[in-house]
Every structure is written in C-alpha cells, then in structure tokens.
Amino acid sequence: MFTYSALVSSEGGDASFQNNVPDPATSGKELPTFKFELEKSEGRAIDGSYGKEATVAQLPISKGLAGVSMLMQPGVMRELHWHATAAEWAFVIEGQVRTTVIDPSGSSETNDFAPGDLWYFPRGHGHVIQTLGDKPCHFILVFDNGYFSEFGTFSITDWMGHAPQELLAKNFRLPASAFETIPKKEVYFAKGRVPPAFPPAPLQGWKPPPLTHKYSLLSQKPFEVFDGGVEWRADGSQFPISTTITGVVLDMEVGALRELHWHPNASEWQYVLSGDLRVTLFGSNGRWRQETLSKGDVGYIPQGFGHSIENVGSGRARILIVFNSGHYQTINLSQWIAGNSIDVLATNFGQDPALFERFPHEDVFMTR
C-alpha cells in the first residue's frame, strides 16, 4: 500500500518550496509590499483592551508567520483557549502579565512576566493570560503559521456555552442547573479583580512540566555586541521548549546597518519597538523593494530572500525579529565574500583582485 507522508522539518521553517511551485505572492515581476502598520489597524477592542493582528489577510506575503499586538487593562484576562494550527511565542513590551498553560500529560505551569520576557506555548496546549497589577500590559504574540487568526482560537466559553447542559453535567458530574448562567458565547476578554500577587495553586495542585515556558530575554547578557548595536537572541538552544520559533531583539545606533544577509531555514517577522528603520528586500531577477518601518509597524521577509535593516532615524532604534524555526541560521554577505578566495571574487565580478584585499576578512553582521 502506498503511503504519503507530508514534509516535516525538525527545524521548523517553510518546507512548501520543495514542491517547486512558485509562490504567486513573490514570483511576480515586482515584489509586493512586506510592510503592515499593525498599531494603526482597527483590530478587536473591548472596553480599552484590544488585539490587532497581522496575518496573510492583512499582509499577503506573510505566509510563514502571523502576529498580534495585544493590550489588556487591569483585571482583564485573555480567556482559557488553545490554538489548533499554531504555536504561540510572546514578547512583553509593557506591564506585568501571568500565564498558566497545560500540556497533554496534565502538567501545568504558571509564570509571571515583565518587560523583555518571552513565553512559548506549543501548538494545541491550553492556556490563559492575565494582567497583573494596576497598569495595562502590552505584549506581542507571534504564531508559526501566517494563516492563523487570533480571532479563530478555540475558547472555553465558546465551547461550553454551546454544549448541551446535560452533556456538561455528565462530563463534570454536576447537576445541569450548575451551567445555567455560564456565558452563551465567546467572552474573549474576561474582566474581574486584579489577580493576587502570588499565584494560587491549581485545582489539581502543582504539577510542573519538564521544560519551562518562560525565558527572560532582555535580562540576559546580550548574545553579541557590535560596532553599531547589540543583539539578544533566544532559539531552542537557550530556550529548549521553543522548538519552532527563534526570537531576536536588535538595538541599533543611529546609522547602524544589519548587513545584507539571508536565512536559509526560516522566514522573518519584524515588529519595530522604537525608531525608524529602512528594510531592503532582494528577490532575484533584479527585483528589490525598500520600506521604511516605524514604531508599531510590521515587516516580513520570506525564507531565503536577501535583505538588510538600517537605522535611518535620528535616535537609537529597537526591533523585535521572530523566525519560524527553533534553530537560528543566517548567512551574511560579508561572511560569504570572506569565505571565497581573491581569484574567485576577482573573476566573478570582473574586478582588479586588489579591490577584494580591502573587503572585511571576517563576518560583520552589524556595522555603521
């Protein structure tokens, strides 16, 4: 019997290119826009809390990753839910937030997060998000599926609110009357009291998982410091549970350039935390496109496409970059040049060999 197995990559990323069918979004005569003004979009707002998303519906080029900007007021929780088709990665921008997540073994973990912290929930794992304290919290969610919509999650009120009361009564061994007043439609943002400073124990008691869902990125020593900026990075080697997503924060000085490069194994999703950045995308056959991204804007680079990021503002800039692979890979243009001999370079470009003596003899990554 013939059995078909779909392509699966242990490193994540988009393996669909292996079918050799050109992507209509990027195979035209001109490259499409790769920018979306996320924070200027309408999204879904409820009493001062909101979720704003960037999926292929808003940014058609963004097939490998989707993102959400979410702000929640004090006492608000993003109700218990799960995602059937995407893992969730998050970066906290402002405020304090608490999550509880359960895995298929029945283990659950509750963590508190501050600005600069990350979480990762594998696909299908149930979770809840709560604002802590008396100030709003703001965080960015990224999903390893560009078609995933935050507004298509499986929510507990939507499920239980539409299930027959007799079914719920049998499931929980309670009288049907116990379910008469539960919400009859999805709540999405639930409003209640500010959670206690210390998380109370779950009904089943504490049963922690083998791998934590939390990583404090910006409190770590930077991954590397360059002439022009600083890089923080968290892939699966630093954050083992994050098997399908890598996160990077670049802090760039005025005039700094994240040099021309590409990622062999992942697409790239960008969110500007501060400043103004010029992103240049190269797509073969002489096609290229530049976009200027400002605070709150999103950019997207398809897997394998050449690109660069330059701080063109009057002050320092900071950008959040997320890849749909838990294994970080990059090839920088300076690195590629330095990996070849002068005679190869001179012949390739038809130039005097002396020119390439002046090129960097090592990987640059970031400069100014």
pLDDT in tens, 166-206: 999 999 999 999 999 999 999 999 999 999 999 999 999 99
DSSP 182-229: S-SS--SEEE-SPPPSSPPPPTT-----SS-SEEE-TTSPPSEEETTE
Please confirm, yes or no, whether 81 is among the known catalytic residues.
yes
Q: Which of 81, 98, 258, 263 is catalytic?
A: 81
pLDDT in tens, 240-288: 999 999 999 999 999 999 999 999 999 999 999 999 999 999 999 999 9
Confidence of residue 21 (pLDDT cuts 50, 70, 90): confident
The distance of Cα 90 from the centroid of its chain, to the nearest Å, equals: 6
CA distance 354 to 289: 32
Q: Which of 11, 78, 109, 125 is catalytic?
A: 78
Given a cut of 60, is residue 5 above it in pLDDT? no
Please confirm, yes or no, whether 37 is among the known catalytic residues.
no
Answer yes or no: are the C-beta atoms of 111 and 120 closer than 8 Å: no
Residue 152 has a pLDDT of 87
Please confirm, yes or no, whether 88 is among the known catalytic residues.
yes
Please confirm, yes or no, whether 98 is among the known catalytic residues.
no
Given a cut of 90, is residue 151 above it in pLDDT? no
Q: Which of 53, 98, 125, 127 is catalytic?
A: 127
Please confirm, yes or no, whether 127 is among the known catalytic residues.
yes
- Percentage of the chain lying above the pLDDT 70 cut: 95
- Domains of the chain (ranges plus CATH)? 18-215 (2.60.120.10), 219-367 (2.60.120.10)
pTM to 2 decimals?
Answer: 0.94
Beta pairing partners, 36: 298
Please confirm, yes or no, whether 78 is among the known catalytic residues.
yes
CA distance 273 to 253: 14
